[in-house]
Chains A and B, each alone.
Chain A
Amino acid sequence: AQKVTQAQTEISVVEKEDVTLDCVYETRDTTYYLFWYKQPPSGELVFLIRRNSFDEQNEISGRYSWNFQKSTSSFNFTITASQVVDSAVYFCALSEAFTGGGNKLTFGTGTQLKVEL
């Protein structure tokens, strides 16, 4: 069975600090996709990034960067120079395909990030 572990339940930082959110996953599939979503208090899941299992290149998007390492089954997310608006719950997720078509997302338990002034 697939599993996603986000060991950090809550992280508090002061604005402008860098912060890394950890994600470790388990799967027996050789082809899979990993995701990060942001969930602000409004509740909607906001897509941040998708990475497939064949692409281990790190990615940077503005203040966000992601480090994917298949050898350690990790897909960590770093926010550089954090801002108050980054305060939210962040979910790491793994996509599992069904034999008959379609797929589902297996989510980690989320990391609550609080950025204070």
Chain B
Amino acid sequence: KAGVTQTPRYLIKTRGQQVTLSCSPISGHRSVSWYQQTPGQGLQFLFEYFSETQRNKGNFPGRFSGRQFSNSRSEMNVSTLELGDSALYLCASSLESSGIYNEQFFGPGTRLTVL
């Protein structure tokens, strides 16, 4: 079974631009979560999508948004880029099931550099 894939792997943008990152979950996984990793703030939860709906959200400004398609693929968008948005963006997918825990499988990440 193929793992979580993310495209592109590397991206360079300038301040003020917007960017779209893509994530394809493991086949059969319906939940996709996004995390931001920076040297200063570490790994932080951005949001989670399930059944094409944003189900949970972390503490990030509205410039960060996302969506999920019917095939569970997800995109995240960052508008009006700031230097501080430079980070590794990790996507994780999980198989929705009852109970507290759904194991998250991570992709390789997209490294975004904002100049």
Contact with A along B33-45 (1 / 0, CB 8 A): 1010000001111
Check if B63 is an interface residue, CB within 8 A of chain A.
no
Closest partner residue, chain A, to B110 (CB atom): A43
> Are B55 and A44 in contact, CB atoms less than 8 angstroms apart?
no
Closest partner residue, chain B, to A103 (CB atom): B102
Number of interface residues of B (CB under 8 A): 27
The smallest beta-carbon distance between A14 and chain B, in angstroms, is 27
Number of interface residues of A (CB under 8 A): 27
> Are A102 and B50 in contact, CB atoms less than 8 angstroms apart?
yes
Closest partner residue, chain B, to A101 (CB atom): B55
Chain B, range 4-51, C-beta contacts under 8 Å to A: 31, 33, 35, 42-45, 48, 50
A42 touching B56 in the complex, CB below 8 Å, given contacts A31-B100, A91-B43, A102-B31: no
Closest partner residue, chain A, to B58 (CB atom): A104
> Are A44 and B106 in contact, CB atoms less than 8 angstroms apart?
yes
Closest partner residue, chain A, to B4 (CB atom): A44
Contact with A along B48-81 (1 / 0, CB 8 A): 1010000110100000000000000000000000
Interface segment, A56-64, A72-80, A92-100?
A92-100
How many angstroms between the C-alpha atoms of A42 and B88 in the bound complex? 11
The smallest beta-carbon distance between B49 and chain A, in angstroms, is 9
Which chain A residues have a beta carbon within 8 Å of chain B's beta carbons? 31-33, 37, 42-45, 47, 50, 52, 91, 93, 95, 97-98, 100-110
**Interchain residue pairs A-B with the least CB separation, the first 4:** A107-B43, A45-B106, A104-B45, A97-B100
